[in-house]
């Protein structure tokens, strides 16, 4: 317990940092980077909130429930702070901080500082200032360039997979969505900066990176020649980095899917054949009201073209159910789209009106009960497809990147190219390796595999980039 607020000297006993992360992968990345920024000040991460000297809630504003969670969590933290006689600094970061920073300060006086998603590199400075005057709020002027320049070059990573933010912000203004307001305009990091970070990750043993952006396929960071580079060109440059064997990216927008990115799925074995391509609705009328700027046929055509380039491509999507004005007929169109595409997995959400977005004041809100019934029907269909997709892997041989130990004995857990979790017995000596695995069965949320006789013991076999024998077929053809 301490009465002295944290200082920026980095001396004395290690101070403990607890970060709770809500929302999307970009927040996961940001939380890791906040820990990196605070490490030189003597902060070491702790898993136990009661031990913490500094707690950061990295928040999400996307749906009402996500945003409201923050306030109940802050209530608990206030009690902890009181129990510690004030010896706890509380910060709110992320998209709620950006959207309603003042309200946070007003509703919960125990909060010491509020820092938006583009300003967290200033945490060290903020902490010293907070030592003098409580109640600091740093919103963002949406200049991620300063943030990335200020972050430490070296990252602390655990394990063999990592997220890497390459693009932030959104110019699309879908009528339901807060992201353009919380993350600002689309902005891409320069190619050189991304490559430097990726090389550092590879040197630390990372084998798979997931490139992140709210509209990652709109990436247009400055290339070595000073001209904007596409995501496809960035991926090709990343594929040259020794040890970096798998590249993924999320989230893509159908309207930003360029021909060179489609070609990259054919030409770059490192690009994994699994794509998150949210469509939100299968109804042209609702897509228009959502301002998605494309119709269902465009989406079908795009998927056909990507599958032509990469026939084993598996897809996932996000869906919103109960958007204002959605009729039974519109919802039927969504079910029809799902049947036609065939998803390996997908997320579906009840529409949540967000303050300040155009949809929040649209006519004909869907009654809650109707929306819930639709959501259950959609989820039943998506689950059915996921189960079928996983079951269809039985009998295949898939390259699996082993990431961690499982619960039983020498079991290890890894990922298939399609992001499925694969459980294999007696494989813990292979963690960090990509190994061909015979899939025995597929359940709803994971696959069970076994090692071929040659890999079962002894040194790991040589790297396999892409198993030609592993071409799996989606549950439902397009």
Binding site for ligand F3S (CB under 6 A): 23-24, 26-27, 60-62, 94-95, 178-179, 182-183
Q: Of 200, 228, 230, whose CA–CA distance to 216 is shortest?
A: 230
Peptide bond into 251 cis (omega under 30): yes
**Residues 223/233, Cβ–Cβ less than 8 Å:** yes
How far apart are alpha carbons 35 and 290 in whole angstroms? 37
Closest distance between ligand SF4 and the C-beta of residue 22, in Å? 16
Tokens of 387: 């189960």
Q: Is 174 a binder of ligand SF4 (CB under 6 A)? A: yes
The piece of 41-49, 82-90, 118-126, 175-183 that touches ligand SF4 (CB under 6 A) is 175-183
Residue listed under structure tokens 């770059």 = 268
How far apart are alpha carbons 322 and 149 in whole angstroms? 42
Q: Is 374 a binder of ligand SAH (CB under 6 A)? A: no
Q: Using CB under 6 A, pick the residue from 91, 104, 138, 179 that binds ligand SF4.
A: 179
Beta strand pairing status for 43-45 and 15-21? parallel
Q: Is 466 a binder of ligand SAH (CB under 6 A)? A: no
Rg of the chain, C-alpha, whole Å: 23
The piece of 119-127, 154-162, 296-304, 346-354 that touches ligand SAH (CB under 6 A) is 346-354
Of 71 and 173, which has the nearer Cβ to ligand SAH? 173
Of 180 and 325, which has the nearer Cβ to ligand SF4? 180
Closest distance between ligand F3S and the C-beta of residue 27, in Å? 4
Q: Using CB under 6 A, pick the residue from 172, 310, 354, 415 that binds ligand SF4.
A: 172
Q: Of 75, 23, 84, whose CA–CA distance to 48 is shortest?
A: 84
Closest distance between ligand SAH and the C-beta of residue 175, in Å? 9
Task: Give the residue ranges of DSSP H helices in 310-367.
Answer: 328-341
Q: Is 118 a binder of ligand SAH (CB under 6 A)? A: no
- Name the closest residue to ligand F3S (Cβ): 23
Q: Which of ligand SAH, ligand SF4, ligand F3S, none sits in contact with 95, Cβ below 5 to 8 A by type? A: ligand F3S
Which distant-in-sequence residues (6+ apart) come within 8 Å of 346 by Cβ? 316, 317, 318, 319, 338, 382, 385, 386
What phi-psi label fits residue 411: left (phi over 0), alpha (psi between -120 and 50 degrees) or beta?
beta
Residue listed under structure tokens 């598996």 = 314
Q: Using CB under 6 A, pick the residue from 2, 7, 131, 173 that binds ligand SF4.
A: 173
Q: Using CB under 6 A, pick the residue from 46, 210, 214, 396 that binds ligand SF4.
A: 214
Long-range contacts of 228-234 (CB under 8 A, 24+ apart): 228/188, 229/191, 230/258, 230/260, 230/261, 231/166, 231/258, 231/261, 231/264, 232/258, 232/260, 232/261, 232/263, 232/264, 233/191, 233/260, 234/166, 234/191, 234/194
Q: Using CB under 6 A, pick the residue from 37, 99, 127, 170 that binds ligand SF4.
A: 170
Q: Which of ligand SAH, ligand F3S, ligand SF4, none sits in contact with 27, Cβ below 5 to 8 A by type? A: ligand F3S
Residues that bind ligand SAH (CB under 6 A): 62-63, 176-177, 179, 214-215, 251, 253, 278, 280, 318, 320, 349, 351-352, 354
Residues that bind ligand SF4 (CB under 6 A): 170, 172-174, 177, 179-180, 214-215, 253
């Amino acid at each position: 317990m301490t009465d002295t607020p944290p200082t920026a000297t980095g001396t004395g006993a290690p101070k403990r940092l607890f970060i709770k992360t809500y929302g999307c992968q970009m927040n996961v990345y940001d939380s890791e980077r906040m820990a990196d920024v605070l490490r030189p000040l003597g902060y070491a991460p702790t898993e136990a909130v009661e031990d913490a000297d500094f707690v950061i809630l990295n928040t999400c504003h996307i749906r009402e429930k996500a945003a409201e969670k923050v306030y109940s969590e802050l209530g608990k933290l206030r009690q902890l702070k009181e129990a510690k006689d004030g010896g706890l600094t509380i910060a709110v970061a992320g998209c709620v901080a950006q959207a309603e920073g003042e309200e946070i300060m007003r509703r919960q006086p125990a909060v010491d500082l509020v820092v938006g998603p583009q300003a967290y590199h200033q945490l060290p400075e903020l902490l010293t200032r907070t030592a003098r005057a409580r109640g600091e709020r740093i919103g963002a002027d949406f200049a991620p360039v300063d943030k990335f320049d200020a972050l430490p070059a070296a990252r602390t990573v655990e394990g063999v997979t990592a997220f890497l933010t390459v693009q932030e912000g959104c110019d699309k203004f879908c009528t339901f969505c807060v992201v353009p307001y919380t993350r600002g305009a689309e902005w891409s990091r320069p190619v050189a900066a991304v490559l430097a970070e990726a090389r550092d990750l590879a040197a630390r043993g990372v084998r798979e990176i997931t490139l992140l952006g709210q509209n990652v396929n709109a990436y247009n960071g400055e290339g070595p020649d000073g001209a904007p580079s596409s995501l496809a060109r960035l991926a090709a440059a990343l594929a040259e980095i020794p040890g970096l064997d798998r590249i993924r990216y999320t989230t893509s927008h159908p309207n930003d899917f360029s021909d060179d990115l489609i070609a990259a799925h054919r030409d770059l074995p490192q690009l994994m054949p699994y794509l998150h391509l949210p469509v939100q609705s299968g109804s042209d009328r609702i897509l228009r009201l959502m301002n998605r700027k494309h119709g269902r046929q465009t989406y079908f055509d795009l998927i056909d073209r990507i599958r032509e380039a990469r026939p084993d491509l598996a897809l996932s999507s996000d869906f919103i159910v109960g958007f204002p004005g959605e009729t039974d007929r519109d919802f039927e169109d969504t079910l029809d789209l799902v049947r036609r595409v065939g998803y390996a997995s997908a997320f579906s959400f009840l529409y949540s009106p967000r303050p300040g977005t155009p949809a929040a004041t649209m006519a004909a809100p869907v009654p809650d009960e109707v929306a819930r019934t639709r959501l259950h029907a959609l989820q039943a269909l998506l689950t059915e497809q996921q189960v079928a997709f996983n079951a269809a892997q039985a009998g295949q041989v898939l390259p699996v990147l082993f990431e961690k130990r499982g619960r039983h004995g020498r079991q290890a857990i890894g990922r298939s190219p399609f992001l499925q979790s694969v459980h294999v017995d007696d494989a813990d000596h292979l963690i960090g390796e990509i190994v061909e695995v015979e899939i025995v069965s597929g359940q709803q949320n994971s696959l069970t595999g076994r090692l071929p006789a040659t890999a079962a013991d002894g040194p790991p076999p040589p790297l396999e980039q892409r198993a030609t024998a592993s071409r799996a077929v989606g549950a439902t053809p397009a």
